[in-house]
Structure 1
Amino acid sequence: MKKCILYVWLLFCGVTVVSCDDMLETKNFTDISPSNFFKTEGDISAAVTGLYLPCTTNWGYTDGGTGVWLNALFNADINAYYPAGMVTTDVVRCYSSNIYDEFNVGPSSGGAIESTYNVIRFVARATDIINQINLSSGATEEVRNRFIAEVKTLRAFYMYTLFDWFGPVNVKLDPATLMDNTILPRPSQEEYIGYIEKDLQEAIDTPSFPDKYNDDLSNWGRMSKAIAYGIRMKLYMHIKNWEKAKEAAEKLMTMGYSIIPEYEDVFNVDRTAEHIWSVPSNTASENYYVTEVLPSDFKKGYNHLGASYIRGDEKTYYSGWQVFCMRWEFYDTFADNDKRKNTILCEYDTNDGVHKDRNNGMTGAIPIKFTDTQFANYGIQKAHPVLRYAEVLLSYAEAENELHGPTKEAIDAVKQVTDRAGVTIPASALAGTNEFREYLLAERGRELFCEGQRRQDLIRHGVYISRSRERGNNAQDYQVLFPIPQSVITEAGGIVEQNPEYPK
């Protein structure tokens, strides 16, 4: 996948023909057929690789179906899925006024809601490719089944992403309807969750679907059985089905993953025993996260121990884009001896020789994360971690706590995370279910900061809106979901309902 990423957008534009410009119409979005494509395993692989188009760290892609440029989901720009959701939380903030940070997103805001909603088209494309693989004789049944399992897992992830932001949406999962542009209403939540569950279960039940790709550089980043279990875990955490969330986490705890010794290596080293799913980055698809968090006058930064981080070489320094930073209030929740603070800069020198800290010009701390990135360019070749074993352990502990309280099993799972960080679980956190629940929310924030999990965590704990209000925003309860883009509502002519309370 890493080798193919440069060609993904060309590939998808090359096999896509569309007769319309909106996100609802799916008719004629592909000219693939058993007679002219999927004649070999390579053809199938190329088509499947094209479905990963939204899953890059690079800026984005031109959708071959609409001709519209869109932000990739894991692009670090503030108008993309993961950072836009991140700045709505208590962990990070924007340096300047921003509609996501201030809870002022509306149906016509464009940006991240348009780009995120666009993955509904990739759900339909996945449906078509599954159908085409079934019709193809270009590979053995075992190989075809493996690719189908991969596509179903990716389709489930896209459906979960849509569900996370917008609630249930009218995805197309029946290949017989792909040429029919009749717009259907949004399904019920129960029905929609069933779609995701079905895809994941069928993928997991496929014997030829690999458990993971950590030892396979050429395929690392592709969907696997472990990722399917991870998506299932996240889905059940989201809807508070604690029994099933715990079950999925327990399965992942038997698949050979573990906490690696050094927290910094999670971000500096690819394909470790802790990585379940990461989005690869290379010279063709760089990761711009570091530049997004560095101040515009940055030269050299320091963590709480005084260790330094230099951007560039000794002669040339590139300024950052100063988009978002860590809130000081959240930074202060870390213990002084917490090793995870080593990946956060709390002071820095400017290009003009001025030393800045929280008392002298720093709006917030700099959550650098990727500490091994002394480079003389704007992008880095470091993978973005989407799902890692630390999240599994913390999710298992949360589910176990909700079911049985802070049991030894729950505590032992968390200790694997806190022991690496060099901190201990306070005795007060073990007093009961409520106390352990509050502790776990805080600990998830410290462990997973700036990895795109915090919004979901705050919503699940029922404090997403209240914490925004504490920061001075006029956030409303209905804003736990983002609005359906106005272009979709208009095109649907009333068939697709807007999320409650947003303007129709």
Structure 2
Amino acid sequence: MALQSSTQDIMKRSIKYITYAGALAGLLLTTSCNDDFLERPPQDQISDATFWKSKDDLSKALNAVYSQLTREGIIYDDGSSDNAYAQYPWESTATIVSAGTINTNSNAGWGYTGIRRANQLIENADNIEMDAELRERFKAEARFLRTWFYWNMVLKFGDVPLVTSTLAAGEEDVARTPRKDVVDFLLSELTAVAEVLPVMYGGGDSNEKGRVTKGAALALKARILLNEASPRFNTGGDATKWKAAADAAQEVMSLGYSLFKVNEESGKDLEDDYAKWVDFADAEDERNFRLGLRSYEKLFQQQYEGNSEVILDRQFIMQVDPQWHNTYLLPSVLNGWSSVTPTQDLVNAYGNYKTGGPANILTPEKRAELYLNDDPAFANEYKNRDPRFYASILFNGNPWNALEDGYAFTWQIGGSNNSQTGYNFRKLVDPQSRRENIESHANIILLRYAEILLTYAEAMNEFGGPDATVYAALNQIRERAGMPAVDESVYNTKESLRELIRNERRVELALEGQRYMDIRRWEIAPQVMQTIYDIRNRLVQARVWDDRLYLMPVPQAQIDLSDNVLTQNTGY
């Protein structure tokens, strides 16, 4: 397959991948599975005095920090939102978060292992004799990772103890730091490390692909600033906060990233027949649709990892460290568990391929009637939809020969490991590993260029309303997906364009962990976190929203361990 960035080029850029988990197994930084929220130092492992001696020690310590980066659990954040249903409460807290029943016995993400490891590295790095510039870069990488871990906790809990040094015995009980102070610290850290981190890595010792870059620091800064500019946190409507988010996104836009695209199909992809689903005007129209679909779905597949759109991804080591999206997302007939499945509301969000506007959506009652009567008209609702719909959602009849010869999805009702909603996710599944019956090692993308374009579009629209740069950012994403450009005669006000941008974020970033944050920062969670039903209009999950759910409860076990120095969030 010919690519905008060829496979050969990608391989050249992938000279060496950063090695993660296991780097320090049994050493100083491998914390035991105790219950302490600030991770008291283990007493039975290598000491600081023994370990911090060489560049190799520092590199291993840094890899141990990287090993704490977000893994498959990112999909459960969508399960905590209106995008998806997470059916197994033993896999994550998403089931009880979305139902509104989470309590203080649960832990929705409170943890300090990664932060402690980063603090230890930053404190001990200066004691090692090595190249000074490389040492400062290693420290900057650790500071970025510490910021990543803190931000994910701030999103869930608000105020958290801000600890920037390794605590000695007796110092562990630290009160929660006001949220604003933590956020200010994180933004200052990202600004500082962006000046140290390189734009890219060339490969070789200490320059492995997968390390954090200047772009990653600025992209996370843009994500945080966008959150802080939003209604929940910008209660005074300060427009300059939106401008700051747009400026941070624009810095990333100047670094050379681009949206990943394919320019032809090959192999099993050619066997998928979409003529049943799309009323193609001509051969060129079909080509546009199919390349939009392929560009979007292949972005996440192992064969094309490290492409021009990726800003930061969680690396997985071949034959050592598999990831499990194929298992969590596919149905039982494909050896999956259907752990996280799309809601009807997410399905409804994918627009019309022909018009570029919203799709024609059936009432739940009509959809159920057509399905239960095996009426051919049931399929009409899935026709002429956004190519990202066909790339993201397994609905009845969606073909996928790359996964299995002649495969088309059929919802299996009941039984173990099948969807409860009537749909499964196709996005993030790697068909090659499924076809070859091997484990997937596809990297999990944590920051990518499409998000930056969406951040810029939203922030600039909120700052000053629609302008040419906003439309241009949105149209890059839509054009890559094969969708028509934004109709500027329809979306010509801040308010109308706001709704389109929000929907564009939803479908473009589905299952990437952003919807959890978005519905809270926009303060729309009370409206969208509604009880969900399957395609037969039968109850799947009762959902009850309470405003306490804007934040998660601090685990009571952590409060107890802190001798009640920690306080609880309101409503728990």
Q: Please tell me the TM-score bracket, short chain as reference.
A: 0.7 to 0.9
Quick one: which of 166, 177, 188 aligns to 2:178? 188
Partners of 2:522 and 2:32 lie apart in 1 by 44
For residue 452 of structure 1, the aligned residue among 513, 521, 525 is 513
Contact 2:76 / 2:86 at 8 angstroms: preserved in 1?
Answer: no
Q: Within 5 Å, give how 1:175-214 maps onto structure 2.
A: 175=166, 177-206=167-196, 209-213=197-201
Structure 2 contact 259–449 (Cα < 8 Å) conserved: yes
**Distance apart, 1:466 and its partner CA:** 2.1
Which one of the candidate residues 44, 62, 83 is aligned to 2:58? 44
Q: Is the 8 A contact 1:263 1:420 kept in 2?
A: yes
**Structure showing greater Rg:** 2
1:322 matched to 2:338? yes
Report the counterpart of residue 105 of structure 1 in structure 2.
102
Q: Match of 2:425, SS? A: coil
Identity %: 24
- The aligned residue for residue 270 of structure 1 is 305
Is 1:233 the counterpart of 2:222 in the alignment? Answer: yes
In the alignment, the residues of structure 1 paired with residue 259 and residue 444 of structure 2 have an alpha-carbon distance, to the nearest angstrom, of 17
Once the two structures are TM-superposed, the CA of residue 418 in structure 1 deviates from its matched residue by 0.5
Q: Map 1:154-303; keep pairs closer than 5 Å.
A: 154-175=145-166, 177-206=167-196, 209-213=197-201, 219-240=208-229, 241-261=241-261, 262-268=295-301, 269-281=304-316, 282-298=318-334
Name which of 447, 456, 474 aligns with 1:396.
456
Q: Secondary structure at the match of 1:223?
A: coil
**Take 1:428 and 1:277, find their aligned partners in 2: how far apart are those partners?**
36
Aligned-partner Cα distance in 2 for 1:51–1:396: 30
Amino acid at match of 1:475: W
**SS of the residue 1:430 aligns to:** coil
For residue 487 of structure 1, the aligned residue among 557, 563, 567 is 557
Secondary structure (helix, strand or coil) at the match of 2:446 reads: strand
Letter in 1 for 2:549: Q
- Contact map agreement 1:12 1:47 (CA 8 A) in 2: no
Question: Where does residue 345 of structure 1 map in the other structure?
Answer: 394
Q: 2:357: which partner in 1?
A: none
More displaced stretch, 24-33 vs 440-449: 24-33
SS in 1 for 2:254: coil
Higher mean C-alpha displacement, 252-261 vs 236-245:
236-245
Question: SS where residue 85 of structure 2 aligns?
Answer: strand
Give 1:221 shift. Answer: 2.3
Counterpart among 81, 89, 94 of residue 81 in structure 2:
89
Whole-angstrom distance in 2 between the partners of 1:279 and 1:44: 20
Partner of 2:116: 124
Quickly say closer, same or farther: Cα 1:143–1:165, change in 2 above 3 A: same
- Residues 92 and 24 of structure 1: is their aligned pair in 2 closer, same or farther, counting only changes over 3 Å? closer
1:250 CA displacement: 0.4
Which stretch has the larger CA shift, 411-420 or 430-439?
Answer: 430-439
Q: What do the CA deviations read for 1:214-272 (whole angstroms, capped 9, x no partner)? A: 87797222222111111111111111131221111001000010112221221121111
Q: Deviations over 1:387-439 (max 9, x none)?
A: 11000000000000110011111111010001111223244652311111111
Change beyond 3 A, Cα 1:215–1:36: closer
Residue pair 1:259, 1:389 contacting (<8 A) in 2 also: yes
Correspondence for 1:62: none
Question: Per-residue CA shift, 1:322-348, capped at 9, x if unaligned?
Answer: 212111232132222422123232126
**TM-score for the superposition, normalised by structure 2:** 0.72
Amino acid at match of 2:298: D
The equivalent of 2:482 in structure 1 is: 422
Structure 1 ranges of 4+ moved more than 6 A: 17-20, 30-34, 214-218, 353-356, 358-362
Cα offset, 1:180, TM superposition: 4.4
TM-score (normalised: structure 1)? 0.81
Matching residue's letter, 2:198: P
Look up the match of 2:36.
Answer: 23
User: Per-residue displacement from partner, 1:93-147 (whole Å, max 9, x unpaired)?
Assistant: 134673233122111024xx2xx212x232132112101002222x121111010
Partner secondary structure for residue 490 of structure 1:
helix
Count matched residues. Answer: 448
Q: 1:475 & 1:399 partners in 2: Cα distance?
A: 28
CA 263–117 in structure 1, closer or farther in 2 if over 3 Å, else same: same
Q: Is the CA contact 1:39–1:136 (under 8 Å) kept in the aligned structure 2?
A: yes
Q: Does 1:382 align with 2:442?
A: yes
Moved more, 225-234 or 332-341: 332-341
Cα pair 1:337 1:423 within 8 Å, conserved: no
Conserved in 2, the CA contact under 8 Å of 1:243 and 1:403?
yes
Provide the residue aligned with 2:426 in structure 1.
Answer: 368
Which residue type is aligned with residue 185 of structure 1?
A: A
Deviation, structure 1 residue 24: 3.2
1:378/1:438 CA distance change after superposition, 3 Å: farther
Q: How many angstroms apart in 2 are the aligned matches of 1:290 and 1:13?
A: 30
Which deviates the most, 121-130 or 354-363? 354-363
Unmatched 5+ residue regions in structure 2?
1-15, 90-94, 230-240, 262-294, 353-383, 533-541
CA distance in 1, matches of 2:469, 2:340: 37
CA distance in structure 1 between the partners assigned to 2:170 and 2:30 by the alignment? 15
Query: How far apart, in 2, do the equivalents of 1:20 and 1:382 lie?
Result: 27
Pick from 17, 20, 23: which aligns with 1:5? 20
Task: Please state whether the residue corresponding to 1:474 is helix, strand or coil.
Answer: coil
Indicate if the aligned counterparts of 1:226 and 1:276 stay in contact, CA closer than 8 A. yes
- Aligned partners of 1:182, 1:267: CA distance in 2, in Å? 40
Q: Which residue pairs with 1:434 in the alignment?
A: 495
Aligned-residue CA RMSD (Å): 2.9
Q: Distance in 2 between matches of 1:328 and 1:461?
A: 21
Counterpart amino acid of residue 102 in structure 1: A
Q: Is the 8 A contact 2:18 2:210 kept in 1?
A: no
Structure number with higher relative contact order (C-alpha < 8 Å, ≥ 6 residues apart): 2
Change (3 A) 1:19 1:277: closer
Indicate the SS of the match to 1:105: coil
The alpha-carbon deviation at position 33 of structure 1 amounts to 6.5
